[in-house]
């Protein structure tokens, strides 16, 4: 009897909140506009403000303090960084707890749970999540199908965990080749290609209810520096910007793009004082809203990045300016103390400044409209993902993907200009081969195909330069071999490769991540780019090396032979 009572209580505990959920305002009525307005008219300042804030938990788990803060302030969105993830089952459980807390608030408004899962180089959630070939590999094959499928599969994996918003696709045009921070995250330097591929990626994500966020508006691909570290300056006039960098956005807006991330990038020709685009009313309101007609969400890049903190302003003041500029969601990943300060400060401002309060209300309307449209949809991402089924469900996604990522990686393999059509795979089978790589997996993949090959693993770090002893070790080893497969993946290995330039006729380079690094070693090598660092990309590289197929990708940006760093 006692046991039965416990079971009954348990069932009630689970069912009651769920039953309650449907009675709350967010879940009632078919007319999204009416529901949103109804909620907003009843909201307190705290509830309004909460919907435009996106915070991230402190550690690798969601603690009670974070949930408490979320409930008390009606915070509307949560960002998960790599540091917040220790294992995927736990992540699914944490997301369920966060959503329960949100559903228990007055209107039952669920959360946006966001992360950066661009595919390829940048993926904040690792573990069993796929390492895909990445945007530049898609740009190299330039099939919209590849972009759509990549978006679909990446989003399907996110949906298993309960993540319903992805800060992808990156539609920055890779124009300044020193923009290492963008590099292989970009589809192309061509506005039309980036627009078509970005749109396809978005539709793929949309299929499984994941909200796409195109970034970094107006465009990070011309920045020679990284907005994490400084405020990059981009000297370009509006008509060029509109014809080039904004083109992918214009295309995607026409196709129903739900969100755009504003970047911490400074455009002296467009704004009248030194401030990032993310804090510029001219760029966000006059250009993005009025000129481009975007009615979706504008989300800031993380407000703690150096690019957003260049002046005297405190973080709360910068957040206020971000709202005034036209952002709808303010992203901050810092301490709980900082979140409290931001809330307190912005609330005080709402109280005394009716114009500001009106600005917040406008944003809340956009937030609610997007939540109603996506989180109540038939294909909405589950608010209560089943932690126990995470591994099984991820396996399901991967088995549905079949050999897609391998095929995509193969379609993306690109021969550099020099050796187009000249490469003879038979060479490899007849000679003694040494494989040099910063990735153990690359050597292993090679030896599966070519068991007689020897491997030499070199360090990936330091990122920007190679240690002297690494170069010496490589130089000592390569003499004894007929052919060297050199895997180039960062400036460190580029430096090693350039030390080997006298052996260029027996070296074949496979480039992962940013192909631009080859310019540091010169263009005398036979070389192929695969862009990715996942299993499929490495398999594709070896397939190309051994003549399984003839590489047909095209480098999606103009790398000039004489280009020097």
**72 lies in the binding site for other proteins (CB under 8 A):** no
Instruction: Specify the residue, 307 or 551, whose C-beta has the smaller distance to other proteins.
Output: 307
Of 90-98, 108-116, 343-351, 477-485, the window that binds other proteins (rule: CB under 8 A) is: 343-351
* Residue 19 touching other proteins (CB under 8 A): no
Residue 429 interacts with other proteins (CB under 8 A): yes or no: no
Closest Cα to residue 88, out of 151, 165, 159, 166?
Answer: 159
Among residues 509, 239, 553, which one has the least CA distance to residue 408? 553
Rule CB under 8 A: is residue 313 a binding residue for other proteins? yes
Q: How far is the CB of 116 from other proteins (least distance, A)?
A: 15
Q: Is residue 477 a contact residue for other proteins (CB under 8 A)?
A: no
- Catalytically annotated residue among 94, 301, 302, 328: 301
Kindly state whether residue 337 participates in binding other proteins, applying the rule CB under 8 A: yes
- State CA 430 to chain mean position distance: 42
Q: Is 335 in the site for other proteins (CB under 8 A)?
A: yes
Task: List, in sequence order, every residue forming a beta bridge with 511; answer none if it has no partner.
Answer: 488, 529
Q: Nearer to other proteins by C-beta: 335 or 501? A: 335
Q: Shortest approach of other proteins to residue 237 CB, angstroms?
A: 26
Of the candidates 81, 164, 161, which has an alpha carbon nearest to the alpha carbon of residue 123? 81
Q: How far is the CB of 352 from other proteins (least distance, A)?
A: 11
R_g (Cα) of the chain, nearest Å: 25
Give the one residue of 145, 345, 356, 523 binding other proteins; rule: CB under 8 A.
345
Q: Cβ of residue 228: shortest distance to other proteins, in angstroms?
A: 4
Q: Does 338 sit near other proteins (CB under 8 A)? A: yes
Q: Which is nearer to other proteins, 8 or 306 (CB)?
A: 306
Q: Which is nearer to other proteins, 334 or 457 (CB)?
A: 334
Select the span of 63-71, 367-375, 405-413, 456-464 touching other proteins (CB under 8 A): 456-464
Is residue 177 annotated as a catalytic residue, yes or no?
no
Q: What is the token pair recorded at 351? A: 């109280």
Q: How far apart are CA 294 and CA 297, in angstroms?
A: 8
Interface segment toward other proteins; rule CB under 8 A; list 93-101, 345-353, 408-416, 425-433: 345-353
Piece of 138-146, 262-270, 365-373, 458-466 that binds other proteins (CB under 8 A): 458-466
Q: Which ranges of 143-190 would DSSP assign to H, the alpha helix? A: 144-161
298 beta partners = 260
Window of 105-113, 191-199, 245-253, 332-340 that interacts with other proteins by CB under 8 A: 332-340
Smaller CB separation from other proteins, 314 or 477:
314
The SS3 assignment for 436 reads: strand
263 binds other proteins (CB under 8 A): no
**Euclidean distance between CA atoms 140 and 133, whole angstroms:** 11
Smallest separation (angstroms) from other proteins to the CB of 264: 12
State the Cα–Cα distance between residues 391 and 397, nearest whole angstrom. Answer: 10
When asked if residue 304 is in the footprint of other proteins (CB under 8 A), the reply is yes
Tokens of 550: 């003839």
Kindly tell me the sign of the dihedral angle through the C-alpha atoms of 453, 456, 457, 458.
Answer: negative
CA angle 449, 453, 455 (to 5 degrees): 110
Asked whether position 306 contacts other proteins by CB under 8 A, the answer is yes
Q: Which of 58, 127, 398, 506 binds other proteins (CB under 8 A)?
A: 58
Q: Which residue has the tokens 């539609």?
A: 171
How many CB atoms are closer than 10 A to CB 459? 13
**Which of 461, 549, 558, 561: binder of other proteins (CB under 8 A)?**
461
Side by side, which strands form the sheet with 526-531?
Answer: 414-415, 526-531, 507-512, 483-488, 433-437, 454-457
Q: Strand pairing of 414-415 and 526-531?
A: antiparallel
CA distance 200 to 202: 5
Cis peptide before 462 (omega within 30 of 0): yes
Active site residue 301: yes
Number of residues that bind other proteins (CB under 8 A): 32
Which residue of 464, 558, 560, 565 would you call a contact of other proteins, by CB under 8 A?
Answer: 464
Question: By CB under 8 A, what part of segment 83-102 binds other proteins?
Answer: 83
Helices (H), 208-335: 238-243, 247-254, 281, 315-325
Burial class of residue 123 (count of CB atoms within 10 Å of its CB; 0-12, 13-18, 19+): buried
Within residues 102-121, the interface with other proteins by CB under 8 A covers none
Q: Which residues bind other proteins (CB under 8 A)?
A: 58, 83, 226, 228-230, 304-306, 309-310, 313-317, 319-320, 334-335, 337-338, 340-342, 344-346, 348, 461, 463-464
Residues serving a catalytic function are 228, 301
């Amino acid at each position: 009897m006692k046991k039965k009572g416990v079971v009954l209580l348990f069932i009630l505990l689970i069912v009651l909140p769920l039953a309650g959920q449907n009675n709350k305002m967010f879940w009632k009525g078919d007319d999204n506009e009416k529901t949103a307005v109804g909620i907003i008219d009843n909201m307190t300042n705290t509830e309004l403000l909460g919907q435009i804030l996106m915070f991230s938990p402190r550690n690798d788990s969601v603690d009670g303090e974070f949930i408490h803060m979320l409930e008390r302030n009606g915070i509307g969105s949560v960002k998960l960084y790599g540091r917040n993830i220790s294992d995927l089952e736990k992540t699914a459980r944490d997301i369920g707890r966060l959503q329960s807390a949100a559903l228990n608030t007055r209107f039952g408004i669920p959360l946006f749970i966001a992360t950066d899962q661009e595919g390829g180089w940048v993926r904040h959630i690792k573990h069993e999540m796929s390492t895909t070939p990445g945007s530049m590999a898609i740009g190299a094959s330039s099939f919209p199908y590849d972009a759509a499928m990549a978006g679909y599969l990446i989003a399907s994996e996110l949906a298993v965990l309960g993540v319903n918003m992805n800060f992808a696709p990156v539609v920055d045009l890779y124009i300044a080749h020193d923009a290492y921070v963008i590099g292989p995250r970009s589809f192309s330097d061509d506005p039309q290609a980036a627009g078509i591929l970005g749109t396809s990626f978005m539709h793929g994500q949309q299929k499984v209810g994941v909200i796409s966020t195109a970034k970094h508006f107006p465009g990070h691909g011309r920045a020679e520096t990284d907005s994490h570290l400084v405020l990059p300056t981009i000297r370009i006039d509006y008509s060029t910007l509109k014809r080039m960098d904004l083109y992918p956005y214009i295309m995607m807006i026409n196709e129903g793009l739900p969100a755009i991330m504003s970047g911490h990038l400074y455009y002296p020709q467009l704004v009248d004082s030194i401030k990032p685009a993310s804090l510029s009313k001219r760029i966000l309101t006059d250009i993005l809203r009025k000129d481009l007609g975007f009615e979706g969400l504008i989300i800031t890049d993380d407000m703690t990045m150096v690019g957003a903190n260049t002046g005297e302003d405190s973080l709360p003041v910068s957040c206020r300016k971000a709202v005034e500029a036209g952002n709808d969601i303010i992203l901050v990943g810092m301490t709980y103390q900082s979140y409290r300060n931001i809330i307190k400060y912005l609330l005080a401002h709402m109280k005394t400044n009716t114009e500001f309060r009106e600005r917040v209300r406008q944003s809340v309307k956009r937030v609610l409209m997007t939540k109603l449209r996506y989180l109540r949809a038939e294909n909405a991402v589950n608010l209560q993902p089943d932690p126990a089924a995470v591994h099984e469900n991820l396996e399901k996604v991967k088995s549905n993907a079949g050999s897609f990522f391998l095929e995509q990686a193969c379609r993306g393999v690109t021969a550099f200009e020099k050796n187009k059509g000249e490469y003879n795979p038979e060479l490899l089978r007849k000679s003694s081969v040494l494989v040099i790589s910063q990735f153990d997996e690359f050597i292993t993949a090679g030896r599966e195909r070519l068991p007689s090959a020897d491997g030499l693993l070199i360090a990936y770090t330091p990122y920007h330069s190679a240690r002297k002893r690494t170069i010496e070790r490589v130089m000592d080893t390569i003499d004894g071999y007929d052919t060297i497969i050199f895997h180039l993946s960062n400036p460190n290995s580029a430096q090693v490769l350039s030390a080997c330039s006298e052996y260029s006729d027996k070296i074949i380079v496979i480039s992962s991540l940013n192909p631009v690094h080859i310019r540091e070693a010169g263009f005398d090598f036979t070389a192929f780019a695969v862009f990715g660092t996942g299993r499929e990309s490495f398999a594709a590289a070896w397939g190309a090396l051994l003549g399984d197929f003839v590489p047909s990708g095209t480098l999606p940006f103009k790398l000039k032979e004489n280009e020097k760093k």
